[in-house]
Amino acid sequence: MSRYRIGVYPGTFDPITNGHIDIIKRGLRLVDKLVIGVATNSSKDPLFTLDERVKMVEEATLPMASDAKVDYEVVQFNELLMHFAMRMNADIIIRGLRAVADFEYEFQMTGMNYQINPDVETVFLMADPKYQTIASRLVKEVALYGGKIEGFVPDKIAKAVQAKLDERNGRE
Ligand code: ADP
């Protein structure tokens, strides 16, 4: 029996990195529709506003999704992940796993999510080894101290990070 499968890939995307993009590319092979959920996550004190993050995700991924001929949407959310997934009618939640460090948090979150709704499966994907160690937090840190981030994020995003940091420095 074939049916229309919907996946949600949630994250903060502050900013979107080549690691995220690799996971999205893989996710597109698994579903008929992929929804990228951009979380408000004000507790993480994001560098970019929610609207900026959504726009950056769209710019970096829309062509890839249309090439894959998969229905695709970038949606912001400010609610429990499982509630968001249910609102999107998702069958699966996609998460990326980097190293052991991600495991503990993902393990707990998946366990809690299964209690809220056991019918939505969580699927873990690993990025290509050359992207596995990339983290938004480190990208920002490297840029803050004047390092090059071009290999970690698309060029346009690297410029946006630099501009944002310059803007912040100018204000201080
Ligand atoms: P969150 O605040 O939910 O951790 P992130 O934007 O940091 O949001 O990450 C979103 C998802 O992408 C998470 O599942 C995270 O583990 C995964 N991810 C981030 N970077 C990578 C990477 N380099 N390789 C694989 N997965 C990644």
Q: What is the DSSP string of 117-133?
A: -TTSEEEEE---GGGTT
> Residues 152-160: what's their mean pLDDT?
97
* DSSP classification of residue 36: E
| Predicted confidence (pLDDT) at residue 10 exceeds the cutoff of 90 | yes
- Is it the case that residue 1 has pLDDT exceeding 60? no
Which residue among the candidates 29, 44, 130, 168 is catalytic per the annotation? 44
- What the block records as the tokens of 78 is 């400010």
Compute φ and ψ for 104, nearest 5 degrees: -55, -50
123 neighbors 92 (Cβ within 8 angstroms): yes
pLDDT for the residue 49: 96
Assigned domain for 98 exists = yes
Give 172 Cα–ligand 1 centroid separation in angstroms: 30
Whole-number pLDDT of residue 102: 86
CA 166 to CA 91: how far, in whole Å? Answer: 42
Cα torsion angle, 38, 130, 151, 64, sign: negative
**Would the pLDDT of 106 be above 70?**
yes
Strand-pairing partners, residue 11, are 38
Evaluate whether residue 16 is within a structural domain: yes
In the prediction, which pLDDT does 99 show? 80
Q: Report the CATH number at residue 31.
A: 3.40.50.620
Mean pLDDT of 68-77: 97
- Residues spanned by the domain of 49: 6-128
CA of 171 to the centre of ligand 1 (A): 30
Pocket probe for ligand 1: among 9, 12, 23, 41, the residue whose CB has the most ligand atoms within 8 Å is 23
Q: Decide if pLDDT at 54 tops 80.
A: yes
Taking residues 138-155, what's their average pLDDT? 95
Q: What tokens were used for 129?
A: 């080894």
Average pLDDT for the chain = 94
The structural domain count of the chain equals 1
Domain-embedded: residue 60: yes
Pocket of ligand 1 (CB under 6 A): 10-13, 17, 19-20, 23, 41, 95-96, 98, 102, 127, 131-132, 134-136
Q: Report helix, strand and coil shares of the chain as percent, to nearest 5.
A: 50, 15, 35
pLDDT of 100 reads 82
| pTM tops 0.85, yes or no | yes
Residue 141 resides in a domain: no
**Residue 144 pLDDT class (50, 70, 90 cuts):** very high
Report the amino acid identity of residue 3: R
pLDDT bin (cut points 50, 70, 90) of residue 171 is low
In a domain, 156, yes or no: no
46: left (phi over 0), alpha (psi -120 to 50) or beta: beta
Average pLDDT of the residues in 124-142: 95
Query: Within a domain: residue 153?
Result: no
The verdict on whether 98 is a catalytic residue reads yes
Share of the chain above pLDDT 70, in %: 98
| pLDDT greater than 80 at residue 35 | yes
Considering the domain boundaries, does residue 10 fall inside one?
Answer: yes
Q: Whose CA is nearest to atom 4 of ligand 1?
A: 11
Asked if the structure places residue 82 within a domain, the reply is yes
Whole-number pLDDT of residue 42: 73
